[in-house]
Chain A
Amino acid sequence: GIQVEQSPPDLILQEGANSTLRCNFSDSVNNLQWFHQNPWGQLINLFYIPSGTKQNGRLSATTVATERYSLLYISSSQTTDSGVYFCAVGGGFGNEKLTFGTGTRLTIIP
């Protein structure tokens, strides 16, 4: 099956700093999603981005499908950005289940 690796596993930053989270995957995919897991455990959808670049406020993401990686950028971090960020990939029609990475735990210090 597809392997998904996220880095770094842990990241501690001061409020206002910028960060880059990376997701590498081992095979071609038709689905790539970034999630933020809040303190209550819910997975919040950030981006659906099997290829290309998207931006939503202070967050943006880029997926280079041919090189099998995706990056999540967080600018001007706030304490509410703390939590675990997951990358998940899927193979597309007929194989729509997601394989998750082990996550990056982000801690923003005031």
Chain B
Amino acid sequence: DVKVTQSSRYLVKRTGEKVFLECVQDMDHENMFWYRQDPGLGLRLIYFSYDVKMKEKGDIPEGYSVSREKKERFSLILESASTNQTSMYLCASSSRTRGVHEQFFGPGTRLTVL
């Protein structure tokens, strides 16, 4: 079974703090993704990565950065958290080379910025 894990289920931070959200997958997938989900706006892609040290902006990258130093780990970084970054953050992974590009999601992190 594919397993995608995220470092925290719930997180509370203060405005201006630097926040790290970690995601780890155990299926040797090349692709990894970060989405955020907000009521009325659905799921939106923040950043994705096709390979180690490679990253591409999604639809809403402003205020975020990412890091992928190892194939199994993809980190989302909020350099200076703001209240409008309060959201549900979902990480996903998929294979790039096996012909089937099904994405699998982690349990999500509910981030509250006060």
Q: B43 contacts which chain A residues (CB < 8 A)?
A: 86, 88, 100
Q: Determine if B31 is an interface residue (Cβ-Cβ < 8 Å).
A: yes
Sample of 17 more A-B contacts, CB < 8 Å, known A48-B100, A97-B58: A30-B101, A33-B102, A41-B37, A41-B108, A41-B110, A42-B105, A42-B106, A45-B102, A48-B102, A86-B43, A88-B43, A96-B48, A96-B94, A96-B96, A97-B33, A100-B43, A103-B42
Looking at the assembled complex, report how far the CB atom of B3 sits from the nearest CB atom of chain A, in whole angstroms: 12
Q: Which residue of A lies closest to B56 (CB)?
A: A97
Q: Is A31 engaged at the interface, CB distance under 8 Å to the other chain?
A: yes
On whether A100 and B42 interact (CB within 8 A), knowing A41-B108, A41-B110, the answer reads yes
**Given A43-B90, A102-B42, A90:B107 Cβ within 8 A:** no
B8 within 8 A of A: no
| B58 proximity list for chain A (CB < 8 A) | 97
Q: Do residues A97 and B42 form an inter-chain contact, with CB atoms below 8 A?
A: no
Contact status A41-B94, CB under 8 Å = no
- Contacting B at CB under 8 A, from A78-109, are 86, 88, 90, 92-93, 96-98, 100-103
Chain A residues lying within 8 Å of B45, measured Cβ to Cβ, are 97-98
Contact code string A11-38 (vs B, CB < 8 Å = 1, else 0): 0000000000000000000110101000
Min CB–CB distance A53 → chain B (angstroms): 17
Contacts of A98 in B (CB 8 A): 33, 45, 92, 103
Given contacts A40-B107, A41-B88, A42-B108, contact A101 B101 (CB under 8 A): no
> Contact between A31 and B102 (Cβ–Cβ < 8 Å)?
yes
Cβ contacts B6-21/A at 8 Å (1 or 0 each): 0000000000000000
With a cutoff of 8 Å between Cβ atoms, the chain A residues found around residue B90 in the complex are 41, 43
Does B31 contact A41, Cβ atoms closer than 8 Å?
A: no
